[in-house]
Amino acid sequence: MNLFSKRHHHGRRITMGEREVVAFGLSSHFWQDIYFYAMTFSWPKFFAAVGLIFILFNLGFASLYMLLPGSIANMQPDNFLGAYFFSVETLATVGYGDMHPLTVYAHTVASIEIFVGMGSVAVTTGMIFARFSRPRSSIVFAQHPVSHIADGKRLLMIRMANERLNLISEASAKLHMMRLEPTSTLGQFRKIYDLKLEREHHPLFILGWTLIHIIDETSPLYGLTPEQMSGNTSLIVTIEGVDDTTNQNQRGIKHYPSDLIRWNHRYVDILSQQGSVPHLHYSKFHDSEELI
């Protein structure tokens, strides 16, 4: 699941899978959360923000140089544009040598600008490294949970796969049901129930993994019909493990509104045998078939 928020008029839109909620009344703390926004912006927005800050810095320092004409030697062109170019060279600590500070005032402004330039380069480099090194989930979830009866038991199944096909060791998964229920004192209250899985751990998650929950008398789903679940019930799957290649924690989360459950369906088998070599056809990963 991709979980993100953005401004929507005077509220913030929260998107969880197929569902959207707009929250109002929360104060914004942009300046306290600059790192958060820098990490969550898309790459085009991130570089656009860095470029805009770079331009604003240079416009500001160019204006300072122009406050005292004649502060920069050999300024070409001899106007604000020349001061802007000199600011760019100074902020980037390039220093071609053609233009250089000529007065104590210009040397003072240039010293401040060099200090700001070194700090901004360090911050920008650190942000780019943090964005590149941030773990990216490679876990793909089936588009629809399925449920059918097998051996006299009603099963709820969710198929997952490791898209990179590398080792995720000690993977653990959890399945929850979130349901809006009326209460006598709290009104409509959203409750979260744990759904027990037949296997919660996978020691070597490389290819695929199908989570299975048995809907019996002990299950919070027992006795609920699709009509009773529609619109107020959803499933949340979380999985966590260690990526053996990067040695970083790998996490994945998926939100399923109950309307996405395909009842009396089973997943299409993606495994076939070609001679002595098994083949996995992930083009059929999301497919299911109805049981008669």
CA-CA-CA-CA torsion sign (34, 36, 37, 41)? positive
Q: Is the pLDDT of residue 238 over 90?
A: yes
pLDDT at 7: 45
What is the average per-residue pLDDT within 127-134?
Answer: 87
Give the model confidence (pLDDT) of 195-228 as tens digits.
999 999 998 898 889 999 999 999 999 999 999 9
Q: Which of 104, 110, 108 is nearest to 83 (CA)?
A: 110
pTM of the model: 0.72
Strand locations in 78-133 (E): 100-101
Domain boundaries, the chain: 41-133, 139-290
Q: Is the pLDDT of residue 167 over 50?
A: yes
CA-CA-CA-CA torsion sign (73, 110, 119, 41)? negative
Model confidence at 62, pLDDT cuts 50, 70, 90, reads: very high
Q: Which of 153, 130, 171 is nearest to 39 (CA)?
A: 130
pLDDT at 200: 94
What is the average per-residue pLDDT within 67-84?
Answer: 92
CB-based contact 102:72 (threshold 8 Å)? yes
Q: Which residue has the higher pLDDT, 21 or 122?
A: 122
- Choose which CATH entry (2.70.98.30, 3.30.70.980, 2.60.40.1400, 3.50.50.60) describes domain 139-290: 2.60.40.1400
- Kindly report the backbone phi and psi dihedral angles of residue 142, in degrees, each rounded to the nearest multiple of 5, phi listed first: -60, 145
Tokens of 245: 């290649």
* 54 three-state secondary structure: helix
Pairing of strands 168-183, 187-195: antiparallel
User: Tell me, what DSSP letter sits at residue 144?
Assistant: S
- Kindly report the backbone phi and psi dihedral angles of residue 127, in degrees, each rounded to the nearest multiple of 5, phi listed first: -65, -45
Q: Yes or no: is domain 41-133 CATH 1.10.287.70? A: yes
pLDDT at 183: 77
- Kindly report the backbone phi and psi dihedral angles of residue 66, in degrees, each rounded to the nearest multiple of 5, phi listed first: -75, -10
| Distance separating alpha carbons of residues 9 and 199, to the nearest angstrom | 44
User: Tell me, what DSSP letter sits at residue 60?
Assistant: H
Give the model confidence (pLDDT) of 80-98 as tens digits.
999 999 999 998 888 787 8
Pairing of strands 146-150, 262-263: parallel
HSE (CB half, 13 Å, CA atoms) of 273?
2
Q: Which residues contact 48 (CB under 8 A, 6 or more apart)?
A: none
Q: Is the pLDDT of residue 36 over 90?
A: no
Tokens of 144: 């629809």
Model confidence at 29, pLDDT cuts 50, 70, 90, reads: low
Q: Which residues contact 195 (CB under 8 A, 6 or more apart)?
A: 156, 175, 176, 177, 213, 219, 220, 221, 235
CB-based contact 278:270 (threshold 8 Å)? no
CB atoms within 10 A of CB 234: 23
Residue with tokens 């998964």: 173
Strand pairing partners for 213? 156
Q: Which of 289, 291, 284 is nearest to 208 (CA)?
A: 284
| Distance separating alpha carbons of residues 148 and 117, to the nearest angstrom | 63
pLDDT at 27: 67
pLDDT, averaged across the chain: 87
